[in-house]
């Protein structure tokens, strides 16, 4: 049986302002989420980008080529209704942040982690006022409750689209500090991805690359780049 695929039914996409943001139009019909909710976007820049994804579709709609549309749908249908729960979940990454957990051996790996991660740990302590403790090996470390509370407040101060963008920037590398560093302009998503893979890259240097693992890593990298783009587009006036 041939798999059914949605086909293009509109001639052109457009954008128009509304009282609550910006709508994307397919011909004269406002775009809605898969759950039939109005898809209202916070900036014209993001609405233009989403409209561009729809305009780029050929005869058959290919959802995997529309990452900003998927992210916007998630913001409206998933993040907005459970905003407090999502921010609390992301805040939990501060308690087990990748940057706090270091190798005790080999010495070269430990050195690379310290050189790459210590500046961001220092940045979190000064700019975010959230110092985190570091541990080596497999011994867990309990983080200061005040630091975790302050990290949570940084998340709760964001809007729905900001939290949606931050989600992949935190969960994919396993680091709240890396995600916050990206949205605050300390580093970019490409750098955050690279910093999150110090251990994997070190092992690949010693034992060789695994094609399947490399493919999965590239998918995570692309998702982080999309999340960074969503963040910037949702900030632009």
pLDDT (tens digit per residue) in 135-171: 998 889 999 999 999 999 999 999 999 999 999 999 9
Is 174:220 a contact under the CB 8 Å cutoff? Answer: no
pLDDT of residue 3: 56
Contacts 24+ apart (CB under 8 A), 75-81: 75/160, 75/161, 75/164, 76/33, 76/37, 76/38, 76/39, 76/40, 76/160, 77/33, 77/34, 77/35, 77/37, 79/160, 79/163, 79/164, 79/167, 80/160
At residue 71, does pLDDT exceed 70?
Answer: yes
pLDDT (tens digit per residue) in 77-121: 999 999 999 999 999 999 999 999 999 999 999 999 999 999 999
At residue 1, does pLDDT exceed 50?
Answer: no
At residue 185, does pLDDT exceed 50?
Answer: yes
* Predicted TM-score (pTM) of this structure: 0.93
Alpha helix ranges (H) inside the chain: 44-55, 67-74, 83-91, 107-126, 145-156, 160-171, 176-183, 189-196, 198-207, 211-233
Which position has the higher pLDDT, 25 or 59? 25
pLDDT of residue 6: 82
Encode burial over 150-160: b for 16+ CB neighbours within 10 A, e otherwise: bbbebbeebeb
Which residue ranges form the domains of the chain, and what is each CATH number? 1-64 (3.30.2180.10), 82-233 (1.10.3580.10)
Average pLDDT of the residues in 51-70: 91
């Amino acid at each position: 049986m041939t798999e059914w695929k949605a086909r293009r039914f509109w001639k052109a996409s457009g954008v128009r302002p509304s009282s609550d943001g910006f709508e994307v139009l397919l011909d004269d019909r406002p775009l809605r989420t898969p759950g039939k909710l109005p898809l209202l976007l916070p900036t014209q820049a993001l609405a233009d980008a989403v409209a561009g994804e729809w305009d780029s579709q050929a005869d058959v709609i290919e959802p995997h080529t529309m990452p900003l549309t998927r992210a916007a749908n998630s913001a409206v249908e998933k993040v907005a209704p459970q905003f407090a729960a999502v921010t609390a979940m992301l805040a939990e990454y501060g308690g087990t942040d990748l940057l706090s957990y270091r190798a005790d051996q080999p010495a070269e790996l430990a050195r690379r982690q310290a050189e790459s991660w210590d500046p961001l740990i220092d940045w979190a302590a000064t700019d975010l006022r959230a110092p985190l403790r570091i541990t080596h090996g497999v011994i867990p470390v309990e983080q200061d409750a005040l630091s975790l509370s302050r990290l949570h407040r940084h998340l709760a101060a964001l809007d729905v689209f900001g939290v949606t963008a931050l989600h992949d920037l935190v969960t994919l590398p396993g680091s709240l500090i890396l995600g916050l560093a990206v949205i605050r302009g300390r580093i970019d998503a490409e750098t955050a991805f690279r910093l999150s893979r110090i251990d994997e890259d070190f092992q690949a240097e010693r034992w060789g690359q695994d094609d399947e693992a490399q493919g999965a890593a590239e998918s995570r990298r692309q998702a982080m780049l999309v999340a960074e783009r969503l963040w910037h587009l949702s900030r632009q006036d």
